[in-house]
Structure 1
Amino acid sequence: MAEHPYVGIWVTKDGRIRHELLPNNRYDEARGERESAYQGRYRLTDNYIEYWDDTGFTADGEFIDDVLYHGGMVLYRQEPSLISPR
């Protein structure tokens, strides 16, 4: 499976909401201190993303200029840490 350009972690400016888009078309969303608050699958069509949460909730969003607009939120790409794990 080819990796698309949006794979990675997307966060709100305050860091409270974090979406990790995985290369296997699954996502993991953290909210505040609650890791893996929501999980499910997603599908990309160009810059449009559709989400299907494992509980049945659906949502969508759009990537514009490397910013994700989703459900009234604005999420920015989180750059990988420059510190290597030990």
Structure 2
Amino acid sequence: MLQPPLLAALALLAAGPAIAQEKTMTETARAERSAPHPYVGMWVTENGHIRHELLPNGRYDEQRGNRRSAYQGRYSVTGSHIDYVDDTGFSADGEFVSLDVLHHGGMVFRRER
């Protein structure tokens, strides 16, 4: 009859490949979540008054006229939809209509190249 520690060791050896596969899947999922989406970068209104930078770390920084960092906060992108929450708690959203055009707050932003 096998002793409990030996049974536990055999069970761990048998589960080894499954544990390794689960770890790899978790690391892959984490990498996919941390990979920047295609909308990271600077977005600007046609008149240049508002400059909206989407940072790869999920934060944004918005300049209005000469006022740098007028609004800052976090954002999340799901498909072509973006949700913003600024550091004061105000929330807003927008829609990317292409890789170079963002509709947000009744305004049209274009990607700065």
In the superposition, the TM-score normalised over structure 1's length comes to 0.90
CA RMSD of aligned residues (A): 0.6
> Is 1:68 aligned to 2:102, yes or no?
yes
The CA distance in 2 between the partners of 1:71 and 1:58, in whole Å, is 11
Higher relative contact order (CA 8 A, sep 6+): 1
Identity among equivalent pairs (%): 68
Q: Which ranges of structure 1 fall in alignment gaps of 5 or more residues? A: 80-86
Q: Which runs of 4+ in 1 moved over 3 A?
A: none
Cα deviations across residues 31-56 of structure 1 (Å, max 9, x unaligned)?
00000000000000000000000011
In the superposition, the TM-score normalised over structure 2's length comes to 0.69
1:82 counterpart residue number: none
- Higher-helix-fraction structure: 2
2:29 counterpart residue number: none
Q: Which ranges of structure 2 fall in alignment gaps of 5 or more residues? A: 1-33
- Higher-strand-fraction structure: 1
